[in-house]
Chain A
């Protein structure tokens, strides 16, 4: 009988460990930057959700387009209303995998991340370098990549075509903590 108790506890313990295989952040950082001769436009989002499954190396990210903060309030309004149409497509998402996640060095290592980025209802395959820092209490991902505005069918009126870059640089920093 005692043995059974032991097994049950062992199993419970095993479950406890296993729950640690997911890491989550609700305050991840994603920004994008557009450089043109007329002006530089930058927007920051500090409310990015991201979750990593350390067993499979799979990662899922999502953010509200409305949470991107611009220096100019009116620009932010137009971004949502006229460009990314946040009322129709409220979220941008990424679903993918960190390559060779289980083989990564504990402290600081570089690998690649591949997956599908969905913005404005349009999907695009992304493959980019990522800096991974694994600590006992968290996993931090850092990196940047470029995307073409045209890939996401975001219409830019000719009157402002010179103000907005064709290629946008996206920067991310996601500091995950153990989930539950």
Chain B
């Protein structure tokens, strides 16, 4: 008998407890299963010279104009490097959120480049968190400058070189992002016979936001087995990133003149701390070609 009274009381009270359950509490409970992708690890698809893990979303065409001037220590006669200008034009198209294909042309050594970027993994927070963003990058470049004697004309394949990268990044917090870039570079043709055709490098990069739209970026590539016939330096660059709507401006100080991976990772000769610094900038403009929905 007592048992039933107890049970009845319990059942009678239960709905009252339910009624008093806060509506907000129900919403909290119902929304507790969300996992969110961490967005905007970097402002743009470029850290400075090299790539960031970011890819554009489906249907975005990005147009990039990049400049690297001559060395700032070349004196007044060269207007501190500004007389000498190297330009790269690039078009990148995002076929979907994860795959971008691109073509570019650099005035430096009249080089064409094409690459594919594949966003492999996204950093996530929530119920199923994951700490890293990973993007795969592969490029081929063709050097078309006629810097050879007529009898030594290289074949098409001799003018090619390749780069493969695994870009691994983490947005530590809203203001700090870090990236490491294990890199492999292959040259079909090398300057001297004792130079390596295959090179391994490790890149490190960071973005430090100083306001909502401005950040300071740094990028360094350590080349593990550089060319032996030329005095190669590791590529180092510092820059300021300014984002305004569909544009991104990057102002760069670095020791590399080339704006493509095989160039700045393997063929940089400037010594940053001796003043062999190239002033430069990247300007990117994104166009939504295909609507997202």
Are A60 and B60 in contact, with the CB atoms below 8 A? no
The chain A residue with its CB closest to the CB of B57 is A73
Tell me which residues across on chain B come within 8 A of A81, comparing CB atoms: 39-40, 212
The residue of chain B having its C-beta at the shortest distance from the C-beta of A14 within the complex is B15
Q: Specify which of A4, A18, A51, A179 is in contact with B15 (CB 8 Å cutoff).
A: A18
Q: Is B229 an interface residue (CB 8 A)?
A: no
Number of interface residues of A (CB under 8 A): 45
Q: Spot the interface stretch: B22-30, B138-146, B157-165.
A: B22-30
In the complex, what residues of A have CB within 8 A of residue B36's CB? 64, 66
B181–chain A nearest beta-carbon distance, Å: 23
B11 touches A95 (CB 8 A): no
Interface residues of A in 75-102 (CB under 8 A from B): 77-78, 80-82, 87-88, 93, 95
B23 touches A51 (CB 8 A): yes
CB of B260, distance to nearest CB on chain A (Å): 25
Question: Digit string of B1-20 for contact with A (CB within 8 Å is 1, else 0)?
Answer: 10010011001101100110
Binding site for A on B (CB under 8 A): 1, 4, 7-8, 11-12, 14-15, 18-19, 23-24, 26-27, 30-31, 34, 36, 39-40, 56-60, 174, 212-213, 244-246, 286, 288, 291-293
- Give A residues with C-beta under 8 Å from B: 4, 7-8, 11-12, 14-15, 18-19, 21-22, 24, 26, 49-53, 55, 58-62, 64, 66, 69-74, 77-78, 80-82, 87-88, 93, 95, 157, 159-160, 179
What are 29 of the A-B contact pairs (CB < 8 Å)? A4-B1, A8-B11, A11-B8, A15-B14, A19-B18, A24-B26, A49-B27, A49-B30, A51-B23, A51-B26, A51-B30, A59-B23, A60-B23, A60-B26, A62-B24, A62-B27, A64-B36, A69-B292, A74-B56, A74-B57, A74-B286, A78-B245, A80-B39, A81-B39, A82-B213, A88-B174, A95-B23, A157-B213, A160-B245
